[in-house]
Amino acid sequence: MSDDLVYSSEFGDLRKHKTKISKNVYEVDESSLKLLVRRLTSGKGRTVIEIKGLPSNKSWCKELARDLKRKTGVGGTYKNDFIEIHGEKYEQVANFLGSKKIAFKKIGG
């Protein structure tokens, strides 16, 4: 499935136009977000914090991932639809999201 934007309320049906609108032009309202945060472990006990429910603005998501990695002091990545933070850092991630006034829900273990 393609990630191309096909309809915009401002420009209408974009499939008819040669130029395309990037998903990065839309602002993200942090107060209306509801992220899903869960803790995952692999077979050898390595822990990863996974954040889902992200908006479609990729630059905002990459910036959030970068800020989380800096705040927690560990590695991580932003993949297609989620952010991964390495290590047992759930409390630090929760405190960071709370300080930015981003609502989240803990799911899973």
d(CA 42, CA 45): 5
Confidence category of residue 23, pLDDT binned at 50, 70, 90: low
Query: What does CATH list as the number for 27-107?
Result: 3.30.780.10
- pTM for this structure? 0.73
- Asked if 96 and 66 touch (Cβ cutoff 8 Å), the reply is no
Backbone phi, then psi, for 45, in 5-degree steps?
90, 5
**Average pLDDT of the chain, as a whole number:** 84
Which tokens is 45 given?
A: 């006990």
pLDDT score of 15: 72
Is residue 5 scored above 80 in pLDDT? Answer: no
pLDDT digits (tens, 9 = 90+) for 61-71: 999 999 999 99
Residue 46 has pLDDT above 70, yes or no: yes
pLDDT over 90 (residue 48) = yes
Mean pLDDT in residue range 3-27 = 65
pLDDT for 3 equals 63
Distance of CA 88 to the CA centre of its chain: 19
Strand blocks (E) in the chain: 7-8, 12-13, 34-41, 47-52, 76-78, 83-86, 103-107
